Amino acid sequence: MMIRFLSLLILILSFVRAVPAESREVKKKPSPKVSSSNYFVKKEEKNFSLLMEARRFGRGEVIFLRLTPKDKKWINESYKVSWLGKDVILTKWEKSMVAFLPISPDTPAGAMTLEIVSKIFFVKRGQKQYQIILEPTKFQVIKKNQQIKVDDKFVTKELPKETLDFIQECKTAKEAAFSKQSRLQFTGNFKNPLDKIFITSKFYVRRDYNNKQGRPHGGVDFRGKTGTSVYAIQDGVVVLARKAYYEGNFTIIDHGNKIFSFYMHQDQIKVKVGDIVKQGQEIGTVGTTGMSTGPHLHLGAKVNDTLVDPLSLIALQSISESN
């Protein structure tokens, strides 16, 4: 039996070709191109095409909308768009119309409705609705044993009159800044506010301060050393640049069409109200002023009077393509 087995083994090996060691290496396939992980809705209608892009269709996000008429001459026609029952500001960009649709972090579950009114697009009915299902969103809740300790003056209501007057003054200034209305100031995608990005607190996190429940976090916190340059995330006009009680050294930039970005707790403010700034321009430096526990940048955003996650604006990739 052993002899027969050895004979069979020799016979099998005689048919096996020796493979050089270098040819045994597995050749690596070329790396695929990195594609967007964003969500897209694309519709080709009879008279126009529709594009909607978002990081995700969830609470606190922003959707970029582009409408492109099939006939070039229709770009000058009158159109009306409403999102979640509220009118949307449209801007004409060459052959298309664009808009930014905010989803409030408090939006109830269910379908979100986009309505387009146009006698040109919809000859018979004059309008059409599109519905997008809101994705489930769970915002982080910081446990009580992870509460944040801040100066008591930021969490107590028992403050001197002059302090209360200053807080009211700051509130009035913020409301005036966010009420500004201007044409769209930019034509490209948004960018990050710091050279190095490390997020320490996400959007709408609910936290406790000194054993008292605080409001949801209205922005995103980025780690940074005091003095680190802070950059404008988009072209725009400075509509507020001052010291505020809670926000510390505070800057608000109007990007047009009721789109604002704001920068809190800065060590220095390097712009003034009325300045026209470009994306990537230094507007201040990282600090720990106001209601802050350490050096960081709080970046926030508002779209059409709705507080949104600024990272959802930065994630959009189709803005530049529209131009």
Query: What is the tens place of the pLDDT at every residue in 282-300?
Result: 999 999 999 888 999 999 9
Structure tokens at 71: 């006939």
pLDDT number for residue 247: 94
Share of the chain above pLDDT 90, in %: 70
Please, are residues 180 and 239 in contact by the beta-carbon 8 Å criterion? yes
pLDDT number for residue 159: 86
pLDDT number for residue 7: 41
Share of the chain above pLDDT 70, in %: 81
The closest of 256, 284, 259, 280 to 270, measured between CA atoms, is 284
pLDDT band at 144 (very low <50, low <70, confident <90, very high): low
**CATH 2.60.40.1590 residue window(s) in the chain:** 39-134
With residue 311 as reference, give the H or E element that holds it: helix 310-314
CATH numeric code, 141-315? 2.70.70.10
| Residues 94/259/204/189 CA torsion (nearest 10 deg) | 40
Classify domain 39-134 at the CATH superfamily level: Peptidoglycan hydrolase domains (2.60.40.1590)
Query: Is the model's pLDDT at 320 over the cut of 50?
Result: yes
β-strand 248-256 against 259-266: which pairing, if any?
Answer: antiparallel
Structure tokens at 246: 């809670």
Query: Is the model's pLDDT at 22 over the cut of 50?
Result: no
**CATH 2.70.70.10 residue window(s) in the chain:** 141-315
Please, are residues 179 and 171 in contact by the beta-carbon 8 Å criterion? no
Phi, psi of 56 (to 5 degrees): -165, 155
Cα–Cα distance for residue pair 118/276, rounded to 1 Å: 35
Cα–Cα distance for residue pair 286/293, rounded to 1 Å: 13
By residue count, the chain amounts to 323
Mean per-residue pLDDT, 39-47: 94
DSSP-derived letter for residue 121 is T
pTM of the model: 0.84
Query: Is the model's pLDDT at 30 over the cut of 60?
Result: no
| Residues 102/201/261/78 CA torsion (nearest 10 deg) | -10
Cα–Cα distance for residue pair 231/251, rounded to 1 Å: 11
pLDDT number for residue 219: 94
Half-sphere exposure of 115 (CA within 13 A, CB side): 11
Of 91 and 3, the structure prediction assigns the larger pLDDT to 91
